[in-house]
Chain A
Amino acid sequence: EVQLVESGGGLVQPGGSLRLSCAASRFTFSSYEMNWVRQAPGKGLEWVSYISSSGSTIRYADSVKGRFTISRDNAKNSLYLQMNSLRAEDTAVYYCAREDEDGYNFDYWGQGTLVTVSS
């Protein structure tokens, strides 16, 4: 079955940076669009960023635009999220999520990685 495994979360000070990774397996990663979705503690889901299968199209939520950068390496079956200028409100579990073949929904999710921004 499809597997998505996030890593790279941890404790970081406000203004700091962190890079999340998502290792994909058991499917043809290069054929699928991918996303990052986050969930603050005790709160709801928030879409963060999208990247097309080739990496040519990228989108961000306004809340992270200019601070976060999504990328992918299809040769390594990996998705990334570079997070700079981190704020307390970025504290959340970050999930990588695959879109199905036709898009517009998230059919597989990783287990999530916790990012805590605090001094």
Chain B
Amino acid sequence: QSALTQPRSVSGSPGQSVTISCTGTSSDIGGFNYVSWYQQHPGIAPKLMIYDVTKRPSGVPDRFSGSKSGNTASLTISGLLAEDEADYYCCSFAGSYTFYLFGTGTKVTVL
């Protein structure tokens, strides 16, 4: 049950786009279309940003988008805002034994 692999940090200037990768295996990301992404500000519970690889919950800005290719999922934040500075975690369903795996987490810094 190894965690999914994410870059430790990414950064961008306001208005720019950043993309966070999340790499797993054919037993998790590659095997199911059940990748979700969570935003977490310091000291606050995580917030669902993307689910089922590409879907956005109501209230989440369309600046946030998700995709998947093979064993790697990605979260793209377009038109970066200061409020987007936070930690981001991917999560994938990994079958009826392992169940859920989270990513290692990525800190997004707005320069």
Contacts and interface: CB of A to CB of B under 8 A. Distances in A.
B89 A50 contact: no
Interface residues of A, number: 22
Nearest to B90: A45
A11 interface: no
Contacts of A46: 3, 102
A111 interface: yes
A95 B102 CA distance: 14
Contacts of B89: 44-45
Which of A44, A59, A102, A111 lies at the interface centre, i.e. has the most chain B CB atoms within 10 A of its CB?
A: A44
Q: How large is the interface on B (under 10, 10 to 19, 20 to 34, 35 or more residues)?
A: 20 to 34
Given A45-B89, A59-B99, A105-B34, A95 B45 contact: yes
B100 to A, nearest CB: 4
A78 B38 CA distance: 24
Interface string A27-68: 000000001010000001111001000000001011100000
Given A47-B99, A47-B100, A100-B51, A106 B46 contact: yes
A119 B15 CA distance: 49
B45 A61 contact: no
16 contacts: A44-B3, A44-B89, A45-B46, A45-B105, A46-B3, A47-B99, A50-B99, A59-B96, A59-B99, A62-B1, A102-B52, A104-B34, A105-B48, A105-B51, A106-B38, A107-B48
List 7 A-B pairs, minimum CB-CB distance, nearest first.
A104-B34, A105-B51, A105-B36, A47-B100, A109-B45, A44-B105, A45-B102
Interface of A: 35, 37, 44-47, 50, 59, 61-63, 95, 100, 102, 104-107, 109-112
